[in-house]
Amino acid sequence: MIVDGRPLESGLEWVAEHTRRYRESEGADGLMWRDGVPTLVVVTRTADTGAERRTSLIHGPHGDHHVVIASAGGTDHHPRWYRNLVAHPDVRVQVGAERFHARARTAGGPERDHLWSTMVAIWPDYECYQQRTDRPLPVVVLERV
C-alpha cells in the first residue's frame, strides 16, 4: 500500500501512519476515512508493561459514547488493542479534535446485536471479517467518564 507517496509494508504500519497523522492534525487528517467512514484514536495501556499504545479505529455512535469492533480483519486472534483494554479498561479517546477519558466494555446479548448492526451499516466488511473466523468479533463500547 502507498501512503503519502511511500510504500508501507504491513497493515500495522498503515494504521500507525494514519494514527500519527490523525493526532498531529487534531483529527483534520483522518477523522473521515475512505469515502466518509468515521474513525477515532484510542489510547490503551499494554497488558504487560502498562506502556501507552495508540490506534485508529472505525467507530459508530451510541448516545454520548462510541462503538468499535475488535475485528483484526477476521483473524483468529483478538487485536492487541482489545487485549490491552480488557486488561486496562480505562482509556483515552480522540474524536476529531476532542479528547476525553472513557471506560471500555464489551457489549453482549441484545445490545451487542443492535450495535453490531449499526457498525455493519458503517463498515459492511465486518460481516466478511466475521465469516473468516470462529471467534465472535467483540463489540466494544467506549463510555465517557
pLDDT at 53 over 50: yes
pLDDT at 48 over 50: yes
Whether 92 contacts 100, CB under 8 Å = yes
pLDDT at 137 over 60: yes
Top-confidence residue, 32 or 129: 129
pTM, two decimals, is 0.87
- Predicted pLDDT at 70: 97
Domain ranges of the chain: 2-144
- Predicted pLDDT at 10: 42
For residue 12, what pLDDT band results from cuts at 50, 70 and 90?
Answer: low
Out of 2.30.110.10, 3.40.50.720, 2.30.30.230, 3.40.50.12660, which CATH number does the structure's domain 2-144 have?
A: 2.30.110.10
